[in-house]
Amino acid sequence: MNARIGYIASNTFREAVRDRVLYNLIAFALLLSGAAIFVGQLSIDIERLVGVNLRLTAVSLFGVVIAIFIGIGLVSKEIEKRTLYTVLSRPVRRWEFIVGKFFGLAGTLVVNTFFMAIGVFGALLYVVHKFTASDGLILVALYFIILEFLIICSLALLFSSFSSPLLSAVFAFSLFVIGSFADDLRGFASLTHGFTRWIATGAAYLVPNFSALNVISVVAHQQPVSGQLILQNTLYAVFYTAMALSGAVLIFERRNLK
């Protein structure tokens, strides 16, 4: 990786870890994960199922909130505060700035997910007292959650490159919600005809398919996840992220920083 991208990524990571809001969100997520132990105890015989479901959902939701919350300000805040002027007046290309910011935020989310994963496994051990081979599937669910974060980060950056933080947050969160029902949207598209079918199918494939990345319920039921799905989801996330980042770069390369 280009050294300048690494420096920008590391500074973005440093900015995130020095932001108190991040710690509040992580503390809240861990609290929710802990509370899942007690909810699990109320669910006779299915403590594990309910606990894993709740904890992984907490990791996913809070990660998405962090990704959107930090991601929407990555570019617009730098323009608004004019911190970008002293960066782009150096031998830094605009695309390097965008890519560096992306890796910085992605790194923050990976580290964050790592600590939350410790919380998930710790709480699971407390409930079941010993791990079984099927608990390893939780790692697959966590991997898919990270893929989901990468897509959200790139979308937040894309919106941040041309609109205000508030609008970027609305766009990114809307896409997250719509994308979580992408399978239903595709099902709906297949029921329509003619021109509507074209539009509905186009829209269904344009929004990120977060429902394919959601295997929380499958993992909670200790059902296997196929290697093919892991490969498909990895390629899909990489492709979608690359597309969104390219869009962000294309817009940002042409933007006048008034």
Partner 1 sequence: MAAIEILGLEKTYMVGFWRKRPKRALHPLHLTVEEGEIFGFLGPNGAGKTTTLKMLMGLVFPTAGTARILGKDWTDPEVKAQIGFLPEQPYFYDYLTAHELLDYYGQLSGVPGKDRKRRIEEVLVRVGLTDVKGVQLRKFSKGMLQRAGIAQAILHNPKLVFFDEPMSGLDPLGRREVRDLIEQLKHEGKTVFFSTHILSDAESLCDRVAILHQGELRGVGAVEELTSAVQGKVEVVWQGTQTPASMKALGAECHITGDTVRAVIPESQQDAAIDALRRERLKLIAITPLRTSLEAYFVEKLQHSQTTAGNAK
- Asked if 133 is part of the footprint of partner 1 (rule: CB under 8 A), the reply reads no
User: Closest CB to partner 1 among 15 and 47?
Assistant: 15
- Asked if 258 is part of the footprint of partner 1 (rule: CB under 8 A), the reply reads yes
**If binding means CB under 8 A, how many residues of this protein chain bind partner 1?**
26
- Residue of 19, 121, 201, 203 interacting with partner 1 (CB under 8 A): 19
CB of 258 to partner 1, least distance (A): 7
Length of the chain: 258
Tell me if 109 sits within 8 A of 145, measured CB to CB: no
User: Closest CB to partner 1 among 161 and 233?
Assistant: 161
Token pair of 219 as six digits:
């993992």
Subset of residues 179 to 208 that bind partner 1, contact rule: CB under 8 A: none
- Asked if 1 is part of the footprint of partner 1 (rule: CB under 8 A), the reply reads no
The span from the CA of 256 to the CA of 237, in Å, is: 30
The span from the CA of 195 to the CA of 198, in Å, is: 5
User: Closest CB to partner 1 among 14 and 197?
Assistant: 14
User: Closest CB to partner 1 among 47 and 78?
Assistant: 78
- The 3-state DSSP class for residue 161 equals coil
Please state, in angstroms and as integers, the Cα–Cα distance from residue 216 to each residue in 30, 51, 88, 225, following that order.
17, 11, 42, 11
User: Closest CB to partner 1 among 89 and 228?
Assistant: 89
User: 47-71 vs 94-128: helix axis angle to the nearest 10?
Assistant: 160
User: 194-206 vs 182-191: helix axis angle to the nearest 10?
Assistant: 170
CB of 221 to partner 1, least distance (A): 43
- Asked if 4 is part of the footprint of partner 1 (rule: CB under 8 A), the reply reads yes
CB of 72 to partner 1, least distance (A): 18
Subset of residues 80 to 109 that bind partner 1, contact rule: CB under 8 A: 81-93
- Asked if 8 is part of the footprint of partner 1 (rule: CB under 8 A), the reply reads yes
Tell me if 126 sits within 8 A of 48, measured CB to CB: no
Selected range binding partner 1 among 15-23, 56-64, 132-140, 194-202, rule: CB under 8 A: 15-23
User: 137-160 vs 47-71: helix axis angle to the nearest 10?
Assistant: 20
| Amino acid at site 225 | V
* Sign of the Cα pseudo-torsion (81, 87, 92, 98, in order): negative
User: Closest CB to partner 1 among 7 and 173?
Assistant: 7
Classify residue 79 as exposed, middle or buried by CB count within 10 Å of its CB (0-12, 13-18, 19+). Answer: middle
Selected range binding partner 1 among 4-12, 22-30, 46-54, 206-214, rule: CB under 8 A: 4-12
User: Closest CB to partner 1 among 81 and 197?
Assistant: 81
Residues that bind partner 1 (CB under 8 A): 3-4, 7-8, 11, 14-15, 18-19, 81-93, 254, 256-258
